[in-house]
Amino acid sequence: MSKTTELSVIEIKLEQAPALYVANGLDGFLDQIRSSVNEVPDLSTAKGRARIASLSASVSRSKTAIEKPGRELLKKIKEQPKIIEAELRRFISECDTLRDEVRRPLTEWEEEQERIRLEEESKAEAERYSKMRDDADKDNTAFDLAKAKELALQIEAAHATALLDNYEYDRDIAEKKAEAERQRIAHEEELKRQAVEQAQREADEKIQREREASAKREADLKAQAEQAERDRIDVAAKAEADRLAAAQQAEREKQEAIAAEQLKAKQEADRIQRETKQKEDARLAEERRLAEEAAARAANIEHQKTINNQVIAILTKAGLSTDCAKECVIAIVKNQNAAAASGMKPPVQINY
């Protein structure tokens, strides 16, 4: 009987997810799942087949319980770049506002100092111009009208030049300030852009790493599930093969036992048949021997009778009576038989 274990319900809290969904972070759950299905139910029974289906379903439930929090975490990670970008924009805007707010007194002071400087320069230029006019008025008595006009033109030209210089200076200052502000804004925008790009790259890289890790985990899970299925099929096939082999072995042993019994019975029947035949052959041989001996004796008797009759005829022809000749032959035969029985050679014998 195989030992069965029940797979406990797997639950992953969201705060646990970041520490679990890393490289090999789910191995503990895999070991737990493998341990819970480490049994080989009897495929030949309805209960065993139901147990196999239950184990397979428990693996699917465990897979879903582990996959769902991971998918939720992955969704949050995909939303994170947008959140980071919005937060960075808000943070940069707040910092810019705070920077301008902090610098406002200095900026206002610098602007006031620049205004005072420009007023002083304008006042000095006006005083210089007024002095030149006064000097020109004083010198009008010493110079002729043409010289006065020339001096007036020089004064007007100097005044225009001074005004132009002030305008160009103001424009240059404004352009420098505008350029500095533009460069500052461009620099800050570049920093923002670089920060956003860096955050985006890091988020993309993290997402890619997570995607690759997730794909690898899914591939590993799939490979492990396929391997487990192959192992299960191999175990079931081996169990079925072992069962068939055992049944075939039992059938072979049964057939061999039957064949052995049949062979033993046949051998016994053959032995009995041989013994019966041998007895019958011996009986027939004995009968033939007896018959042959009887026939031989009869033939011998007949032969001896013929020879004896020939001897009687010879003796009768020699002058003995038939009865005397018969008595002589009988006497010779008896003496011949007695001598043969005692191993002696008779003095007179009849050769048959």
Which pLDDT value is given to residue 8? 52
Q: Which of 31-45, 90-104, 116-130, 147-161 shows the lowest mean pLDDT across its residues?
A: 147-161
pLDDT above 80: residue 202: no
Which pLDDT value is given to residue 185? 77
Q: Which of 1-10, 170-179, 227-236, 329-338 shows the lowest mean pLDDT across its residues?
A: 1-10
Q: What is the pTM of this model?
A: 0.28
Domain edges within the chain: 14-166+187-287
pLDDT above 50: residue 7: no
HEC string of the chain equals: CCCCCCCCCCCCCHHHHHHHCCCCCCHHHHHHHHHHCCCCCCCCCHHHHHHHHHHHHHHHHHHHHHHHHHHHHHHHHHHHHHHHHHHHHHHHHHHHHHHHHHHHHHHHHHHHHHHHHHHHHHHHHHHHHHHHHHHHHHHCCCCCHHHHHHHHHHHHHHHHHHHHHHHHHHHHHHHHHHHHHHHHHHHHHHHHHHHHHHHHHHHHHHHHHHHHHHHHHHHHHHHHHHHHHHHHHHHHHHHHHHHHHHHHHHHHHHHHHHHHHHHHHHHHHHHHHHHHHHHHHHHHHHHHHHHHHHHHHHHHHHHHHHHHHHHHHHHHHHCCCHHHHHHHHHHHHHHHHHHHHHCCCCCCCCCC
- Tell me the per-residue pLDDT of 219-251, one tens digit each, with 9 for 90 and over: 777 777 778 778 788 777 787 878 888 788 888
Q: What is the mean pLDDT of residues 169-192?
A: 71
Which pLDDT value is given to residue 10? 65
- pLDDT top residue among 325 and 192: 325
